[in-house]
C-alpha cells in the first residue's frame, strides 16, 4: 500500500507573522504562503501544521481559542484545493519538560498515524533550528525558511546544519520540494 507523504508546516514565522504577538487576531499570512501551500496540496502532499503554542500554558489564550482561530485561518485558505491538516499542538512553555515540543518527533508521529503518512518520504518547513532538527530526527528532510526567527542571523546559522535546504521565502522552499519530486 502506498503511503502518502507530508510537508509538515510550522505556523509562527513560517505561515504567519509577526512572531511576537499578544493576540491571535494580530497574526497575518505571510506573502506567498497561500499559493505555496496550494501548490504542495495539488502535488499530492498532506500538509499538517505542527506548532508550539507556549502562550496556551502561559494563559494568554486557551487551547479552544487557538483551535477556533486555526479553523478560521484554514477556512480562509481553502481555494484551489488548499487544505491545512491538524493542527498538532504543543501547548507547553519552553521551560516545561514535555514529550511534544520540537525537535521531539511525537506530534509528527501522531500526524503520520492519523493520516497514514510515510515519515521518511516527508519534509518539514520551519523558521527555527527545532523545526529542521525534528525533520532530521524523524528521518525526513528539513527545509529552513529565512522568515520569522531566521530573519535574524543567529537562529539561521544554528538551524542550517540540520537543514536539507534553505530558502529565502516559502515559495522558494516549495520550488525546491517540487523539484526533488521531479528528479
Ligand atoms: Mg516558527
Ligand atoms: Zn509540549
- Please name each of the domains of the chain with its CATH number: 4-182 (3.40.50.1000)
Q: Which ligand is nearest to the CA of 92?
A: 2
User: What is the whole-number distance in angstroms between the Cα of residue 120 and the centre of ligand 2?
Assistant: 23
Write out pLDDT tens, residues 49-61. 999 999 999 999 9
CA distances from residue 28 to 11, 18, 87 in whole angstroms, order as listed: 11, 7, 17
Give the three cell numbers for residue 145.
525558511
Q: What is the pTM of this model?
A: 0.96
Write out pLDDT tens, residues 107-158. 999 999 999 999 999 999 999 999 999 999 999 999 999 999 999 889 999 9
Name the 3-class secondary structure at 160: helix
Distance CA 6, CA 15 (A): 16
- DSSP state letter for 3: P
Q: Which ligand is nearest to the CA of 89?
A: 2
User: What is the whole-number distance in angstroms between the Cα of residue 102 and the centre of ligand 2?
Assistant: 8
User: What is the whole-number distance in angstroms between the Cα of residue 126 and the centre of ligand 2?
Assistant: 17
Residue from 158, 178, 159, 181 nearest 170 by CA: 178
Amino acid at each position: 500500500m502506498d503511503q502518502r507523504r507530508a510537508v509538515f508546516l510550522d505556523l509562527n514565522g513560517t505561515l504567519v507573522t509577526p512572531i511576537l504577538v499578544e493576540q491571535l487576531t494580530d497574526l497575518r499570512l505571510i506573502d506567498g504562503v497561500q499559493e505555496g501551500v496550494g501548490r504542495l496540496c495539488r502535488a499530492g502532499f498532506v500538509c499538517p501544521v505542527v506548532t508550539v503554542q507556549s502562550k496556551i500554558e502561559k494563559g494568554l489564550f486557551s487551547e479552544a481559542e487557538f483551535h477556533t482561530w486555526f479553523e478560521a485561518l484554514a477556512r480562509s485558505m481553502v481555494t484551489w484545493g488548499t487544505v491545512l491538516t491538524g493542527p498538532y499542538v504543543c501547548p507547553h512553555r519552553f521551560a516545561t519538560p514535555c514529550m511534544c515540543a520540537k525537535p521531539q518527533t511525537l506530534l509528527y508521529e501522531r500526524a503520520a498515524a492519523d493520516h497514514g503518512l510515510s515519515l521518511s518520504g516527508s519534509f518539514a518547513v520551519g523558521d527555527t533550528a527545532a523545526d529542521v532538527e525534528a525533520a532530521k530526527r524523524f528521518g525526513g528532510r528539513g527545509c529552513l525558511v529565512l522568515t520569522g526567527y531566521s530573519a535574524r542571523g543567529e537562529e539561521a546559522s544554528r538551524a542550517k546544519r540540520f537543514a536539507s535546504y534553505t530558502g529565502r521565502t516559502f515559495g522558494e522552499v516549495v520550488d525546491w520540494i517540487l523539484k526533488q519530486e521531479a528528479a
